[in-house]
Amino acid sequence: MARAIIADDHPLFRAALQQALANTLGTDVLEAENFTELQTMLEQERQLELLFLDLNMPGNRGLTGLTAIRNQFPDVLVLIVSANESIDVIRRAMAFGASAYVPKSAPLPMLIQAVETVLGGDSWLPEHLRDELKRPVSAENQDFAAKLEQLTPQQFKVLTCIADGLLNKQIAYELDVQETTIKQHVSAILRKLGVINRTQAGVIFHDMLKADEEV
């Protein structure tokens, strides 16, 4: 039984991480090289506990993947493993539901420490960043994170499509539903996010969840 998935598009990094985690967890660790593959695995493997997520793997843009996973699979603990060490990005990742943020530059013992801490029920951040992250996340980010949690998985998918600039007819085609259903979802999304139109909803979603490209 697999307990974890490594979602990263770098094969060598996945291999090194896989070996370390297999020894630590004592079970098989699955691998996904893009976000579509990751979602399929999450739907099929119901016993998964941990997800090691790269911020900028194919199909995942910034923090969008994190929020999608937290919305659709709330029981899976997400550890961000990224080369992006921006304090703002880390702070927002934790606000949007990450259990840990591990820089890719971190040695493997530090990663194992993060895993043990998260499995023990606590969140984890690298020690050298904790002081910089003591300042609480902005009220705006906290408010937006809380509002996103109110969306159903289908509404979250619709919001993602809106942020991508798709029209209701196009979203209906993508999700294989009637356009009237999409209109109902859009109305609910606007109400839950407290915005006046779909353009505002898309812009806020995009801006809140963007992250600088990895270095």
Q: Is residue 159 part of a domain?
A: yes
Q: Is residue 47 part of a domain?
A: yes
Same domain assignment for residues 205 and 159? yes
- Between 20-34, 86-100, 186-200, the lowest mean confidence (pLDDT) is in 20-34
Q: For residue 140, how many C-alpha atoms fall within 13 Å in the half-sphere facing its CB? A: 5
Query: In Å, how far are 4, 154, 189, 201 from 158, measured between CA atoms?
Result: 28, 6, 9, 11
Q: Is residue 37 part of a domain?
A: yes
- Between 16-25, 83-92, 197-206, the lowest mean confidence (pLDDT) is in 16-25
Q: Show the domain range for 156.
A: 150-209
pLDDT given for residue 152 in this prediction: 92
- Between 23-37, 93-107, 113-127, the lowest mean confidence (pLDDT) is in 23-37
* Number of folded domains that form the chain: 2
For 179, the token pair is 């356009």
pLDDT given for residue 213 in this prediction: 45
Strand segments, DSSP code E, in the chain are 4-7, 29-32, 50-53, 77-82, 100-103
Q: pLDDT tens digits, residue range 67-80?
A: 999 988 999 999 99
Mean pLDDT within 117-124: 92
pLDDT given for residue 23 in this prediction: 76
Same domain assignment for residues 124 and 159? no
The pTM score is: 0.79
Pairwise CA distance, residues 14 & 9, whole Å: 8
Q: pLDDT tens digits, residue range 12-42?
A: 889 888 888 877 777 778 999 999 999 999 9
